[in-house]
Amino acid sequence: MAPIAVGDVVPEGTISFFDENDQLQSASVHTLAAGKKVILFGVPGAFTPTCSMQHVPGFIEKAEELKSKGVDEIICFSVNDPFVMKAWGKTYPENKHVKFVADGSGEYTQLLGLELDLKDKGLGVRSRRFALLLDNLKVTVANVESGGEFTVSSADDILKAL
């Protein structure tokens, strides 16, 4: 499948996360993003160096600025289980706006066409690093990295696009 691109409508699919009451939820991506301006940024793995020290902190640090430019939701997405994503999110006590969600089986990643085969590194099939800006489910910015790079999908890159 071709990777998601500008002009596409994000596919319907289900992701999992823990809500503010610490209850495990499964939700439709369309339900979470319909009628909203949403940043969906994906990382190859929770607790991995680039993801943990650069990608996620950038969105946490810039969250207020992103929201001031009309962003309703900022969602961090990874092919991990929801328990791992919950634990990872708790390592950022300063976080007030980034929601950590799981694509445990990688099915939604596949629908997006953004799989990254890391079997040779013992990580299985993960998500490529990316940042999408959605406006009422339509992709208006699609910054997708090659391999393990981190050059186009930062919070600053999304701010420039806004």
**Calpha distance 130→53 (Å, rounded):** 16
**Calpha distance 162→157 (Å, rounded):** 9
Cross-strand pairs, 127: 115
Q: Find all residues with CB under 8 Å of 48, minimum gap 6, and list them.
A: none
Q: Which residue among 15, 46, 51, 112 is the active-site one? A: 51
CA atoms within 13 A on the CB side of 95: 22
Could you confirm whether 51 is annotated as catalytic? yes
Q: 2, 4, 12: which is closest to 108 by C-alpha?
A: 12
Residue with tokens 């806004």: 162
**Calpha distance 109→113 (Å, rounded):** 6
Q: Does residue 139 contact residue 8 with C-beta atoms inside 8 Å?
A: yes
Catalytic (active-site) positions: 51
